[in-house]
Structure 1
Amino acid sequence: MPMAVRMDRYGGREVLYTADVDRPVPGPDEVLVQVRAAGTNPAETKIREGAMSGMWPADFPQGQGSDLAGTVVELGPDVDSLSEGDEVLGYVDNRSGQAEFAAVPTAHLTPRPQGMPWEVAGSLKVAGTTAWAGLDALGIRPGDTLVIAGATGGVGSFAVQLAKRAGATVIGIAGEEHQGWLVEHGAIPIAYGPGVADRIHDAAPGGVDAFLDAFGADYVQLAVELGVRPERVATIVDRAGADRYGARFATGGMVPMPETLRDLADLVVTGEVEAPVAGTYPLDQVADAYRQLEQGHPQGKIVLVP
C-alpha cells in the first residue's frame, strides 16, 4: 500500500506520522499523480496546531501538504488534457500532497519543464504564487523602492527576484547569515531587530514606496509608521494587521491558475528566477523536515521526497 503523511489530532511536530493508505482513485477532471516531491509551508504548521481550524477544519485522520510534482499514472473519467506518463507540477486543496500518490484536479497542474529538478518543481506553487500575488497587490512599478520582510524565506526569495525583474529597488530584511544571497540578487540587505526602522531610513533616504511583509510580527504597523500608504502595504501572514491598518492581505489564490504557475516555472527553468531549496527529507522524516522549517529560518524551501 502507498504511504502518506497523517495526523490524528492537533499539536506539534510529534503528531505527524506516515501510514499505509488506500491508493487514491481519481475522479472526474482529476488524475492520479505518483508524487516525486512535495513542498512544506509555514501555514501548514498553523493548520497542524489548530490555529486555523476556523478556516480549515481538520477531518481526522488528516493528511497534509499542497505543493507537489510527479508523474501522471492514471486518468480520471473523461480526462483528455493529460496522458499517463506526463510529468507535472501543481497543488491540491485538500491537504493530501505529502504522499506517494495524490489525486489532483487537472486545472491545478502544469507540465514540469524539462530540466527542472523534482524538488524545485514540487515546492514551487505556494511560495511562488504567493510572492506573485503580493507584488500584484502592491502594483510594483519600475523605480519603486520596496521593502520585503522575510526576504530570504520561501516567499520572500521569490518576491525579491520578481520585484527586481519588475524594475524596483529592493531592500530585504533578513538574518545576517543570508544577506549575501540578497546582495547576489541585487537587493540591499538590512538586519532584523531593534533599530530596523532607522536602517530602512538609511537604506532609502528618499522614502519607501511599498512594503511586503512575508514574516509577520509587527511589520504592517512598521510599514505604516514609515509613511507607506496602507494600500501599498501587503502581508501574507498578518491578516489582523492588514484589517487594522487598511493594508492588503495576499494569497496565492489571488492570481490566475495554472497560468501563473506555468509562467513562474518558465522563469525558473530559464534561469531568470532562482528557486532555492534548503533541504530535502524522505517522507517518513516529515517531523524532521518541519523542525528545520520552524526552527532554522531556512534559505529557501524544505522538500519531502517520497
Structure 2
Amino acid sequence: MKAARFSRFGGPEVLEIVDLPDPHPGAGEIRIAVRAAGVNASDWKKRQGLMDQELPQTMGYEAAGVVDEIGDGVEEVALGDRVFGFGGDGAAQAERAVLSAWARIPASLDFAGAAALPSSVETAARALDQLGVRGGGTLLISGASGSVGSAAVQLAVARGARVIGTGSPATHDRLRALGAEPVAYGEGMAERVRALAPNGVDLALDVAGSGILPELIDLTGSADEVITVADFAGAQRHGVRFSRGDAGRAVYALGQVADLVEAGRFTLPVGRTFALTDVAEAHRVGESGQVRGKLVLLV
C-alpha cells in the first residue's frame, strides 16, 4: 500500500510516499480502506523531531474509510461499513489503516468531513471531562474558533453549559451559530468577558495557547478551574492542568459526536483537502496557518 512517511527530521520536504506492507488488525481492531485522513499540528511536530525520535516514521492518527478486515472479538461492525476513528499505530495517512477506536459515519457526512473529527473531538471531550463541564455552569473557551475550540463549544453546549468563546471579530457569527457568546480576544478580553458574566466564569479552557492563563485564573478565581491543551510551559508556570491523553482518551466521544451530527447539533468544517501525494503541501499550508478549518488528505 502507499503511505506517507519520513526517514529524517526536517521540513515538509522530508515527507515521501512509499510502498509498505498492508497492515492487519489485531484483536479488538478493524482495518479500513482509507478514503480520507486528517492532518494535525502533531504531524509536523512529529516530522520536526519534537516527539518520537525513532526513524523512519509513518504519519497520521485519524482516518475515515470502509471496513475491509475485522480483528478477533469485534462484532459491532461489518465488512463494507463506513467508519471513522483513530489509527493506533500512527499510520493513518495511507491507503489502508488499522483503527483501534471508531464509530459509524453519519449518513449526512462524507469521508473528508468524518476524517476531520476524531482528534479535535477527542481532545475537546477529554478536556471538558477533566474540567467537569456539565449543565448549569459557565465555561470560557479561549480560542473557540479553531477545530478543537469549535468542537469544545458544541460538546459543552450539548452538556447544557453556557459557553463564552474568544475569537477574532470575523469568527463571531460562526461562534454564535455554534451556541457560544463571542468576545474578541486581545487586550481587554477579561473586561469584555465580565461584561457578559459580571461574577466571572465557573471554568475555563485554553485552546489557543496565547499566554492568557493568568487572565483565565482571575476570571475563574482558581487555577484548579482552568485547563489548557496548548500551553505546557504556561501550565507549569501558573499551576494549571495540562490536558494530555496518557491519563485516558475520550474515545467514547466518537459515537456521541456521530449522533450529534445526525441531529444537526454538531459541525466541523473542512478547510481544504489534498491528495495523499500532496502531503508535504498540506504540512506547508497547515504550518502557515493560512486556512481556517481542518486539513484533510483524500486517498
Q: Assess same fold via TM > 0.5.
A: yes
Q: Whole-Å Cα distance in 2 between the matches of residues 77 and 136 of structure 1?
A: 31
Letter in 1 for 2:92: G
Report whether the alignment pairs 1:63 with 2:58: yes
> Residue 91 of structure 2 corresponds to which residue in structure 1?
96
Of 249, 269, 286, 2:242 maps to: 249
Q: Whole-Å Cα distance in 2 between the matches of residues 4 and 51 of structure 1?
A: 21
> Residue 11 of structure 1 corresponds to which residue in structure 2?
10
Once the two structures are superposed, the pairs formed by residues 18-167 of structure 1 within 5 Å of their partners are 18-52=17-51, 57-76=52-71, 80-105=75-100, 108-167=101-160
- Assess, with a 3 A threshold, how the Cα gap between structure 1 residues 3 and 114 changes in structure 2: closer, same or farther: same
- Assess, with a 3 A threshold, how the Cα gap between structure 1 residues 229 and 297 changes in structure 2: closer, same or farther: farther
Q: Whole-Å Cα distance in 2 between the matches of residues 104 and 266 of structure 1?
A: 20
The 8 Å contact of residues 3 and 17 in structure 2, kept in 1 or not, is answered as: yes
Deviations 1:247-296 (A, max 9, x none): 22224566666532111211112211112221211111112222332223
Of 158, 161, 172, 2:165 maps to: 172
Q: Whole-Å Cα distance in 2 between the matches of residues 282 and 185 of structure 1?
A: 30
Of 226, 232, 244, 1:233 maps to: 226
Q: Whole-Å Cα distance in 1 between the matches of residues 192 and 16 of structure 2?
A: 43
> Residue 204 of structure 1 corresponds to which residue in structure 2?
197
More off after superposition, 279-288 vs 295-304: 295-304
Residue 76 of structure 1 deviates from its aligned partner by 4.1
More off after superposition, 136-145 vs 2-11: 136-145
Deviations 1:1-20 (A, max 9, x none): x2111112222222222222
Quick one: percent identity of the two aligned structures? Answer: 40
More off after superposition, 289-298 vs 75-84: 75-84
Residue 155 of structure 1 deviates from its aligned partner by 0.7
Q: Whole-Å Cα distance in 1 between the matches of residues 135 and 25 of structure 2?
A: 45
Letter in 1 for 2:225: R
The 8 Å contact of residues 228 and 242 in structure 2, kept in 1 or not, is answered as: yes
Count of residue correspondences = 299
Q: Whole-Å Cα distance in 1 between the matches of residues 246 and 252 of structure 2?
A: 12
The residue matched to 2:273 in structure 1 has which SS? strand
The residue matched to 2:60 in structure 1 has which SS? coil
> Residue 290 of structure 1 corresponds to which residue in structure 2?
283
- Assess, with a 3 A threshold, how the Cα gap between structure 1 residues 259 and 170 changes in structure 2: closer, same or farther: closer
The 8 Å contact of residues 66 and 93 in structure 1, kept in 2 or not, is answered as: yes
Q: Whole-Å Cα distance in 1 between the matches of residues 143 and 128 of structure 2?
A: 14
Letter in 2 for 1:20: D
Q: Whole-Å Cα distance in 1 between the matches of residues 155 and 251 of structure 2?
A: 18
Unaligned ranges ≥5, structure 2: none
Q: Whole-Å Cα distance in 2 between the matches of residues 89 and 17 of structure 1?
A: 24
Q: Whole-Å Cα distance in 2 between the matches of residues 76 and 227 of structure 1?
A: 46
The 8 Å contact of residues 203 and 220 in structure 2, kept in 1 or not, is answered as: no
- Assess, with a 3 A threshold, how the Cα gap between structure 1 residues 283 and 233 changes in structure 2: closer, same or farther: same
Residue 49 of structure 1 deviates from its aligned partner by 1.7
What's the TM-score once normalised by structure 1's chain length? 0.88
What's the TM-score once normalised by structure 2's chain length? 0.90
The 8 Å contact of residues 132 and 255 in structure 1, kept in 2 or not, is answered as: no
Residue 45 of structure 1 deviates from its aligned partner by 2.4
Residue 181 of structure 1 deviates from its aligned partner by 0.5
Letter in 1 for 2:22: R
The 8 Å contact of residues 75 and 84 in structure 1, kept in 2 or not, is answered as: yes
- Assess, with a 3 A threshold, how the Cα gap between structure 1 residues 110 and 165 changes in structure 2: closer, same or farther: closer
Report whether the alignment pairs 1:270 with 2:263: yes
The residue matched to 2:127 in structure 1 has which SS? helix
CA RMSD of aligned residues (A): 2.3
The 8 Å contact of residues 138 and 232 in structure 1, kept in 2 or not, is answered as: yes
Q: Whole-Å Cα distance in 1 between the matches of residues 205 and 190 of structure 2?
A: 15
Q: Whole-Å Cα distance in 1 between the matches of residues 160 and 211 of structure 2?
A: 27
Q: Whole-Å Cα distance in 2 between the matches of residues 257 and 201 of structure 1?
A: 31
